[in-house]
């Protein structure tokens, strides 16, 4: 722009530029949410119908999620995803967005970013086989319902294994995302080093997403309260990673 332009022209041009950038960010997020939603819907439908689960649509959703969070920002991603009223859909897209932010913050290589976001997007595929009255029950599950709900980790693993298109690292993440370092998790009661690095990261994103999800019957939990709950899980979660996750969240707001 030439130096002799009147200030109002410069301001108008800058405002236009800011508007374009904001518009692009908005578009990246809506495109990412749509693509990730399509990937997830296809996957869950196949799992529900007992058909072999294919990974092609999932792969197509991963790049748009990373681009959305990188260009549009995590806050925009969360605001969009929180408006979806299907609990499982909302949850999986929240975990995927959080994982994308975490991976970008940690400076993961391109391949590892994709691996982590893939596991995050599909980690609860086993919920496709859990009865809806348990899955969407408002409030606490009774012990019998909880036992049914907890089968989703092993079911998800089996559904993906039977499909024959899922890599071993992702399979392990799907099976073990509810394992805790002290052995109190499920389905296999793994302890410490038996739980891989990516699973540890995924579990943190999963718990944070569950705490901060938006449901019509409860008020949203503030980010600081969710971080305090994670920080109180010393012994179950790796605190170094919880702190790093907190930094990734703080960097996103």
**Catalytic residue IDs:** 127
Please tell me the distance from the alpha carbon of residue 244 to that of residue 253, in angstroms, as a whole number: 15
CB-nearer residue toward Fe ion: 31 or 150: 150
Q: Output the smallest distance, CB 130 to Fe ion, in A.
A: 10
Q: Output the smallest distance, CB 124 to Fe ion, in A.
A: 4
Q: Output the smallest distance, CB 70 to Fe ion, in A.
A: 23
Please tell me the distance from the alpha carbon of residue 32 to that of residue 71, in angstroms, as a whole number: 11
CB-nearer residue toward Fe ion: 202 or 249: 202
φ/ψ (deg, to 5) at 237 = -115, 155
Applying CB under 5 A, the site for Fe ion has a residue count of 2
CB-nearer residue toward Fe ion: 28 or 61: 61
Q: Output the smallest distance, CB 41 to Fe ion, in A.
A: 17
Structure tokens at 135: 């899955």
**Under rule CB under 5 A, which residues in 169-208 are in contact with Fe ion?**
206
List 69, 80, 102, 124, residue binding Fe ion (CB under 5 A): 124
3-state secondary structure string, 6-48?
Answer: CHHHHHHHHHHHHHHHHHHHHHHHHHHHHHHHHHHHHHHHHHH
Structure tokens at 185: 């998790």
| List of residues 6+ apart from 136 with CB closer than 8 A | 87
CB-nearer residue toward Fe ion: 80 or 88: 88
Segment lying near Fe ion (by CB under 5 A), choices 37-45, 69-77, 120-128, 225-233? 120-128
What distances in angstroms separate CA 252 from CA 104, 111, 209, 237, one per listed residue? 11, 22, 15, 22
Tell me which residues touch Fe ion (CB under 5 A).
124, 206
């Amino acid at each position: 722009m030439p130096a002799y332009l009147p200030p109002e022209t410069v301001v108008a041009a800058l405002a236009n530029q800011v508007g374009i950038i904001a518009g692009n960010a908005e578009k990246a997020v809506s495109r990412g949410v749509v693509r990730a939603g399509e990937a997830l819907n296809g996957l869950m439908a196949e799992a529900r119908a007992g058909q072999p689960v294919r990974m092609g649509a999932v792969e197509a959703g991963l790049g748009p999620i990373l681009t959305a969070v990188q260009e549009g920002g995590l806050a925009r991603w969360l605001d969009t995803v929180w408006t979806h009223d299907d609990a499982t859909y909302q949850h999986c897209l929240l975990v995927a967005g959080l994982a994308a932010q975490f991976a970008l913050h940690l400076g993961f290589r391109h391949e590892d970013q994709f691996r982590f976001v893939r596991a995050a997007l599909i980690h609860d595929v086993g919920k496709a086989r859990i009865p809806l009255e348990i899955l969407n029950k408002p409030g606490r599950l009774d012990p019998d319902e909880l036992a049914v709900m907890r089968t989703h980790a092993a079911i998800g693993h089996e559904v993906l294994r039977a499909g024959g298109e899922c890599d071993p690292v992702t399979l392990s993440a799907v099976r073990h995302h509810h394992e805790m370092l002290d052995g109190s998790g499920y389905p296999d009661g793994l302890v410490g080093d038996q739980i891989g690095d990516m699973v540890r990261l995924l579990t943190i994103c999963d718990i944070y997403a569950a705490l901060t999800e938006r449901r019509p019957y409860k008020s949203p939990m503030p980010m600081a309260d969710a971080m305090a709950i994670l920080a109180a899980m010393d012994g179950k979660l790796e605190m170094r990673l919880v702190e790093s996750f907190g930094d990734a969240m703080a960097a996103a707001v």
